[in-house]
A = this chain, B = another copy of it.
């Protein structure tokens, strides 16, 4: 018997559905299924009547539920009390991130962080990497996610750790695809209608330089959009866009097709860089507070989960 199993049981009892409960727990259905059957075997009783349509608890299950609920509540109390004693009851974290990361990694992290440390004030600064580094140096930020492959951290008062490497991919619509199966070559992509980002994006510079390296100029049909608008345009089939892999996480209506610079590996031409490295920067001198340390830990952990789930994202640590 362990807390995860009890949490699984309590969730099933609440939603009356294995599959839904698994979703609520961010777990696959078979994992939850086995969690429960392991628990049942361990306790020597069945807990849930699996009748199709509506699950019900057995007598043992009904007896277990209040105890399980209380234990989970106690576990939560422990977390809260310990966090208070560790100085995480109140405080502030100021996190900077480029727009491309705000829609995926940062959104997920903030959701969890808010739930875990509800007393901590959160401030987000969405800007380009150069701007973020300036804000960090000026003390307006505690932590900043930056594109280190574009903007090396040269400022001596700052330091950073690399968090993940993500491929650049071509976002294409599921309903109105512009591309076929398999990886796309940059040279073939140039002719396909493209949606380009606003020049303030690091990503735009990276994309342009990739094309320039191969002596190509893309067929841009819409220019200057922000992330959400661009992805929306792609979705309705106006064209495709080159985006980092994390920007497509959780967008089931878009497909991220792998990007290849050239089919011929024996060419002597310089190959454009089709991936980017994300780092987490902070000041070297000022020791980060407990709230910032917790944020950093959570960012690294969540990045690890992303990398595990998506082949186009990998860890760098």
Judge whether B1 and A79 touch: CB under 8 Å: yes
A35-68 contacts to B, CB under 8 A, are 43-45, 59-60, 63-64, 67-68
Judge whether A44 and B86 touch: CB under 8 Å: yes
Nearest B residue to A294 via CB reads B44
Judge whether A70 and B78 touch: CB under 8 Å: no
Q: Which of B2, B63, B75, B79 contacts A81 (CB 8 A)?
A: B63
With A1-B3, A290-B44 in contact, is A86–B74 under 8 Å at CB? no
A152 at the interface (CB under 8 A from B): no
A245 at the interface (CB under 8 A from B): no
Q: Which residues of chain B are near A221, meaning CB under 8 Å? A: none
The 6 closest A-B pairs by CB, nearest first: A43-B82, A44-B86, A60-B85, A45-B86, A71-B74, A67-B78
A69-114 contacts to B, CB under 8 A, are 70-71, 74-75, 77-79, 81-83, 85-86, 88
Judge whether A64 and B82 touch: CB under 8 Å: yes
Additional pairs, 18, CB under 8 Å, beyond known A1-B79, A44-B86: A1-B3, A1-B75, A43-B79, A43-B82, A43-B86, A44-B82, A44-B88, A44-B290, A44-B294, A45-B82, A45-B86, A59-B85, A60-B82, A60-B85, A64-B82, A67-B77, A71-B74, A71-B75
Question: How many angstroms from the CA of A75 to the CA of B75 in the assembled complex?
Answer: 12
For the complex, would chain A's binding face be called helix, strand, loop or mixed by DSSP majority?
helix
- Tally of this chain's copies: 2
Question: How many angstroms from the CA of A81 to the CA of B68 in the assembled complex?
Answer: 12
Question: How many angstroms from the CA of A59 to the CA of B81 in the assembled complex?
Answer: 11
Nearest CB of chain B from residue A65's CB, rounded to whole Å: 10
Nearest CB of chain B from residue A10's CB, rounded to whole Å: 12
Nearest B residue to A77 via CB reads B67
7 A-B residue pairs with Cβ-Cβ distance under 8 Å, sorted by A, are A2-B2, A3-B3, A43-B78, A43-B79, A44-B83, A70-B74, A71-B71
Binary flags per residue of A1-36, CB closer than 8 Å to B gives 1, else 0: 111000000000000000000000000000000000
Q: Which residues of chain B are near A74, meaning CB under 8 Å? A: 67, 70-71, 74
Q: Which residues of chain B are near A70, meaning CB under 8 Å? A: 74
Question: How many angstroms from the CA of A78 to the CA of B67 in the assembled complex?
Answer: 7
Q: Which residues of chain B are near A1, meaning CB under 8 Å? A: 3, 75, 78-79
Q: Which residues of chain B are near A45, meaning CB under 8 Å? A: 82, 85-86
Question: How many angstroms from the CA of A271 to the CA of B259 in the assembled complex?
Answer: 70
Most B Cβ at <10 Å: residue of A2, A68, A74, A77: A74
Q: Which residues of chain B are near A43, meaning CB under 8 Å? A: 78-79, 82-83, 86
Q: Which residues of chain B are near A83, meaning CB under 8 Å? A: 43-44
Question: How many angstroms from the CA of A294 to the CA of B3 in the assembled complex?
Answer: 23
